[in-house]
Structure 1
Amino acid sequence: MTDSLIPRRAALALLNAVTIEHRLLSECAALLAPLDAPQRARAQRLALSVLRAAGRADRWLKPHLKKRPPVQVQNALRLGVVEIAEGAAPHGVVNDIVALLADSKRTAAFAPLANAVLRKGADLPQQWGKLALPQLPEWLRGPLREAWGNSAINAMERAHFRGAPLDLTVKADAAAWAEKLGGLLLPTGSVRLASAGQVSALAGYDTGAWWVQDAAAALPVKLLGDVRGLRALDLCAAPGGKTMQLANAGAQVTALDLSAGRLGRVAENLARTQLQAEAVQGDALEFATGGWDVIVLDAPCSATGTIRRHPDLPQARDGAEIGDLIDLQARMIDHALTLLAPGGRLLFCTCSLLPDEGEVQIEAALERHLGLRVEAPTAPFIEDDWRSPEGGLRLRPDYWPSLGGMDGFYMAVLRAS
């Protein structure tokens, strides 16, 4: 087996897992286990590129196919099209795609078709940018169109197609680290790297000077202002970005998470960054210790705000779970409010683009709880377009287009009477 065939085979297996078995890439680690680190990285990059550009690849393929082939074959063709379009040597790509199809009884009959079709792609690098951008599936596009309008949806899809840079939250002196790493200091204080390569090889990783955290995900904790000395509870804490922010800001932090494995990641991140927090495994709805000055609830959600870095999500999910998530979020808000000290604050946030998982949740909570109010955020970096009528902030992937975008996020600070 050639060196190039190994990661391409793994990438195809990942694509099939997402599009046929409807698994998220994060659930497919076993498919990459036999590969060495560089092969794993390449397979993941290939799979992400194809998932991000699948709709565009299908547009190019359609006139070259009498009818759409089985999904496994379509994925192999997509892989070949995207690689050639992005500048890979066509001859090697075609040979490997043909070999991958020929190697399976299910797809061997389609190997000659792949050979014939992909050999027509010599001009793909020149034609690629002229093809229409991929669109979100209708289960998501419909609700987002209703919420934000066609223009916003088109802008979000452009942002999704571009992908995401790497953002870092720095413990101290972000400007100096931006210069040292050759990155950009964002208005909110995060450091953005356009092309980071291997994260663990970057300066400052071993010494725990920073951690990876999208700029939008780093904003909620910043809304709390000075938290020095406050007792803070981070519900649903893994992987620990907000826990580390709170600890770095001087709060006395307890990190709670249902999963022992995910809580282990929090502990690892705390150890690397040399920050202190108590880690507790437990169900957020059953946690009974009260008297917290600050509670952070980054609630389970559809994660639709993270598609520019997780293009597998629209294809692995169909929206069927969103109703249950909305109910869970409401119950978590209600329970978290019972754990606050008098005058304490609840920071609610979700990495969702759906108002039902953000703005609507806060409006409903205010109706359920007499005396509850939203604290209007006052941080100087907040842009007017981010503010939503009920008092929270709405971030979208099409914001900051000249800076590289941001994840979709909703956040609001609630103060109990």
Structure 2
Amino acid sequence: MSGENGRAGGKTRNISRPAGKGGAARPDGPKGGFRGGPRKPALKPGLPARAAAADIVDAVLSGQSLDIALDPADGASPLAALPERDRALARAIVGTSLRRLGQIGDALADLVNRPLPAKAHKVRAILVITAAQILFLDVPDHAAVSLGVDLAHADRRTEHYATFVNGVMRTLARGREAILAGQDAPRLNTPDWLWARWVAGYGEATARALAAAHMGEAALDLSVKSDPQGWAERLGGTVLPTGSVRLPNRGQIERLEGYLDGAWWVQDAAAALPARLLGAVQGLRVADLCAAPGGKTAALAAAGAAVTAVDISPARLERLQQNLARLRLEADVVAADLTVWTPEAPFDAVLLDAPCSATGTIRRHPDLVLQKKAEDIAALAALQARLLARAADWVRPGGTLIYCTCSLEKEEGEDQITRLLASGAPFERVPVTAAEIGGLGEAITADGDVRTLPSFWPGDEEHRGGLDGFFIARLRRTA
């Protein structure tokens, strides 16, 4: 049985701390700090991709959003100057490094017996991405170690650590099998506060399944305007029971058939459910609140609704409008703070995808476990309650309210609906049936709400990709 923090016979340790016992090397850096700046890496095959991966991991571990760091359209992204093949390799290294960061930190803790200086954060990133390749990726040990050492040599700020990197990585490669055999991977890769919440809310078996699902990359799902089966055949994908098209691999999305023609948009199968649960919306006035980046707006507009899409972020709404233009769809787009904005008239239906901790999307955003804290949940739940109360007032009598979040935390889902109904608000649940969500009966709660988990898969093929974690409730205004 593994130790309480996922390590056989011990506790999880951060690689910036001393291991407390003999290791392979010491992070002995230059005296008096670093001098000089980064050198341009040599064009050794594979090195530019590793350099970009190290820069991205360094940025994320220092607090930057992974989405921003990965965006090749941003000239500041380390991916911007890379060809597509190197971009794919860099992304794979970054994704594995962050999804397995707990295991990597645990493994390195026994090999680094002095804390790295604060200024050596780039060395930390080099260690992490090289360890990710040795432990989890199909990269020969000698290539991974050699390129890690080359990375250290390529920057004046890290070149004094090249011997250190070499020693640590060679020792890691020799001990790989024993190291991995002694680790409880789901536990190590999950922060203590999230693990405790999931065990309390779902039980240990489900918590473990959630954590295991987060170690894999999310599938690429598409929502299509029409003919899902036809598009699945064209793109080499599969039509899920929920109606989304799932593709076996990503590639470059913009190059896929149908992208420029606006035939489909990228949207996780779980994220596509809230709009579908509104049923027939042809000719109805529907508000999509917290609408950006626009997947639900697109679904509603494609179904014939007159959509008012509201979001607080003008930048995110610009992306929404670009998506609508590509899809040749229309909506009334409003930049507004929902805590003060009020519509001119009630809507036939309101869909509120409330701001949340997004813990249901960790497969797509592995940096979330570094950014979020336990105290964030209470603050977000308070905002959600306020937005839900306001959104409820904007539904006409007999109209429908959909509330959803991409969070696994019950304070952001089930508890919000319980509180709203207990307040005397004139609403009643409209239970969701398994048939409405492709037969995914395990996602239907006792109250008739929807709770998808990353460990779920429509049918018995869990290896095909899972779902984002979502909570969805459907209510009808009674008066």
TM-score, structure 1 normalization: 0.93
Q: 1:301 touches 1:357 (CA, 8 Å); kept in 2?
A: yes
Distance 1:40 1:374, change over 3 A: same
The CA deviation at 1:48 is 1.5
Distance 1:103 1:318, change over 3 A: farther
The CA deviation at 1:129 is 6.6
Q: Which residue of 1 aligns with 2:20?
A: none
The structure 1 segments of at least 4 consecutive aligned residues displaced by more than 6 Å after TM superposition are 123-129
Q: 1:305 touches 1:351 (CA, 8 Å); kept in 2?
A: yes
Q: Does 1:58 align with 2:105?
A: yes
Q: Distance in 2 between matches of 1:234 and 1:402?
A: 33
The CA deviation at 1:294 is 0.8
Q: Distance in 1 between matches of 2:68 and 2:424?
A: 38
Q: Distance in 2 between matches of 1:255 and 1:232?
A: 9
Q: Percent identity?
A: 40
**From 385, 389, 413, the counterpart of 2:442:** 385
Q: Which residue of 1 aligns with 2:226?
A: 172
Q: Which residue of 1 aligns with 2:81?
A: 35
Q: Distance in 2 between matches of 1:211 and 1:69?
A: 44
Distance 1:245 1:41, change over 3 A: same
The CA deviation at 1:395 is 0.8
Q: Which residue of 1 aligns with 2:149?
A: 98
Gaps of 5+ in 2: 1-41
Q: Which residue of 2 aligns with 1:112?
A: 163
Structure with the higher fraction of residues in helix conformation = 1
Q: 2:401 touches 2:476 (CA, 8 Å); kept in 1?
A: yes
RMSD over equivalenced CA pairs, Å: 2.2
**From 185, 191, 202, the counterpart of 2:245:** 191
SS in 1 for 2:223: strand
The CA deviation at 1:75 is 2.7
SS in 2 for 1:279: strand
Q: Distance in 1 between matches of 2:446 and 2:328?
A: 39
Measured against aligned partners, the alpha-carbon deviations of 1:279-318 in whole angstroms (never above 9, x if no partner) come to 1211122221132001111000000000011111101222
Q: 2:434 touches 2:441 (CA, 8 Å); kept in 1?
A: no
1:290-369 equivalences in 2 (<5 Å)? 290-369=345-424
Q: Distance in 2 between matches of 1:399 and 1:129?
A: 26
Larger mean CA deviation between 281-290 and 404-413 belongs to 281-290
The CA deviation at 1:24 is 2.0
1:1-400 equivalences in 2 (<5 Å)? 1-2=42-43, 4-19=46-61, 21-28=62-69, 29=71, 30-32=76-78, 34-36=80-82, 38=84, 39-67=86-114, 69=116, 72-84=122-134, 85-104=136-155, 107-120=158-171, 122=173, 130=181, 131-133=183-185, 134-289=188-343, 290-378=345-433, 380=435, 381-400=438-457
The CA deviation at 1:105 is 5.5
Distance 1:270 1:127, change over 3 A: farther
Q: 2:55 touches 2:78 (CA, 8 Å); kept in 1?
A: no
Q: How many residues align?
A: 416
| Partner amino acid, structure 1, of 2:54 | L
SS in 1 for 2:280: coil
Distance 1:185 1:103, change over 3 A: same
Gaps of 5+ in 1: none
Larger mean CA deviation between 369-378 and 145-154 belongs to 369-378
Distance 1:37 1:253, change over 3 A: farther
Distance 1:33 1:185, change over 3 A: closer
Distance 1:4 1:211, change over 3 A: same
| Partner amino acid, structure 1, of 2:254 | S
Q: 2:101 touches 2:189 (CA, 8 Å); kept in 1?
A: no
Q: 1:12 touches 1:76 (CA, 8 Å); kept in 2?
A: yes
| Partner amino acid, structure 2, of 1:195 | N
